Amino acid sequence: MNPLHRPVRRSLPWLLAALSMIGPFSIDAVFPAFPLIGARFAVDATALQQLISVYLITYAAMSLFHGAISDAIGRKPVMVAGMLVYALASVGAALSTSFAMLLACRGLQGMCAGAGLVVGRAVIRDSLEGAAAQRLMSQVMMIFGVAPVIAPMIGALLLPLGGWHGIFWTLAGFTALLALALAWQLEESHPPEQRNRFAPRPLLASYLSFSRDRPFWPLLISSSVNFAGLFLYIASAPRIVRELLQLSATGFSWLFMPVVIGLVGGAWLSGRMAERRSAGFTVNLGYAVMLLACTLHLLLALVFPAPRLPWSMLPLILHGVGVQLAFPTLTLLLLDRFPQKRGGISSVQAFVSLLLCSFVAGVLSPLLSVSMLHLALGASMLTVVGVLAWWWYHAITRRPLDQSAAVDDPATAMQAEIVEPR
């Protein structure tokens, strides 16, 4: 039976959301432990930032292969194996006796974490279409949105109990249980007759075929940079909370709570708009809200050179809403460029997005987190790049995006998206 015509289990949104949570949880949970890790291994703040950069770089590199492997052997084996190896990497991190060993384990975590995010998106598009796919993507992102706020809170709570080691033991236990849940509950959405052979030459040929599709480039840029402006604040959380706001480890909620309210609210709104508004309207609204948030960031940074609570953090709510309004639609438009290679296209999108996020965390964040004004300028620049890419997509497509995201027939949906170069 075609997966598109088979009802999905009620557990699917929760399983996919839990998989998607691994990425941000792995980043944010260690923030409160930075001082303890630094003291334990005698490293400075710049070295500690590499705990994020190394994780994101390996996450990005391996993301190029997760989707393609799942196109060849199925979605479920890749997800289950990824979570099991992630659990082992977390055990290694908890038992680390040197900073180099901890970095190596963080790199292994990054290599496995993408198995959930990348392949999960392909599962959504394998299983559903049109408005139903957008609703499920929004539901997953809504649940995923709680990860950034609970991660530093849980990390701070674990410090008195097990120190920084306890954070990694918790990650190991969570992903081991998740692997068991996937093995028990997840249905394979990519049947054998639709699979492609995994080999370096065909894989490279697939990626080259993506590059020859003109609408692929603006969609890739727009969907990849969509989250980067907000991620600049998330990656800078240790310095914002500790130095600019001068708060303790329990003060991370002042930054992450507005982010989560915005992400969850935007995901809910995106799901509600799936059958009511066009794809173009949803993305345009998302970017308009993000630009408004950036404007407020800049104004508040000029008015309050020393950030003040809660005002300096409130624009993060609007930024999160805008990100979630645009992202599900942009992702689905990109996946539908190549229906038979959704795993591969999801891999490429994740690779570019994570490579950008690693640049944001490793380069932009250390440079710009000296003040809220510098952060606001950086976030505004990244958001404008996304807007320009979206306008580029409009310019090279003949069909105005005035059709609803709810397209019942996948063949009709793809036909509507086929564009001849001018």
How high is the pLDDT of residue 409? 39
Whether residue 374 lies inside any domain: the answer is yes
Q: For the chain, what is the mean pLDDT?
A: 80
Selected residue with higher pLDDT from 319 and 248: 319
Mean of pLDDT values over 356-368: 86
**Is residue 127 within a helix (H) or strand (E), and if so which, with residue range?**
helix 99-127
Mean of pLDDT values over 141-157: 68
DSSP, collapsed to helix, strand or coil, labels residue 159 as: helix
Grade residue 419 by pLDDT with cuts at 50, 70 and 90: very low
How high is the pLDDT of residue 319? 94
Grade residue 97 by pLDDT with cuts at 50, 70 and 90: very high
How high is the pLDDT of residue 237? 83
Nearest CA-CA partner of 297 in 211, 232, 209:
232
Token digits of residue 396: 């090279």
**Does residue 41 carry a pLDDT above 70?**
yes
How high is the pLDDT of residue 377? 95
How high is the pLDDT of residue 149? 62
Q: CATH number of the domain that 107 lies in?
A: 1.20.1250.20
How high is the pLDDT of residue 24? 74
Whether residue 282 lies inside any domain: the answer is yes
Count structural domains, the chain.
1
Mean pLDDT lowest among 19-33, 227-241, 375-389: 19-33
CB 118 within 8 A of CB 353: no
Mean of pLDDT values over 290-316: 90
Whether residue 194 lies inside any domain: the answer is no
Backbone φ and ψ of 276, nearest 5°: -105, -25
Selected residue with higher pLDDT from 395 and 17: 395
Whether residue 55 lies inside any domain: the answer is yes
How high is the pLDDT of residue 158? 78
Whether residue 119 lies inside any domain: the answer is yes
How high is the pLDDT of residue 9? 64
How high is the pLDDT of residue 305? 81
Selected residue with higher pLDDT from 85 and 200: 85
Selected residue with higher pLDDT from 375 and 422: 375
How high is the pLDDT of residue 421? 35
CB 242 within 8 A of CB 374: no
Whether residue 3 lies inside any domain: the answer is no
Grade residue 411 by pLDDT with cuts at 50, 70 and 90: very low
Grade residue 408 by pLDDT with cuts at 50, 70 and 90: very low
Whether residue 2 lies inside any domain: the answer is no
Mean of pLDDT values over 190-209: 73
Q: Give this prediction's pTM.
A: 0.70
Its domain, for residue 55, covers 10-189+199-417
pLDDT tens, position by position, 254-293: 887 898 889 888 878 887 776 677 778 889 999 999 999 9
Grade residue 249 by pLDDT with cuts at 50, 70 and 90: low
How high is the pLDDT of residue 141? 67
Whether residue 5 lies inside any domain: the answer is no
Q: How far apart are CA 48 and CA 22, in angstroms?
A: 20
| Radius of gyration for the alpha carbons in the chain, expressed in angstroms and rounded | 21
**Does residue 363 carry a pLDDT above 70?**
yes
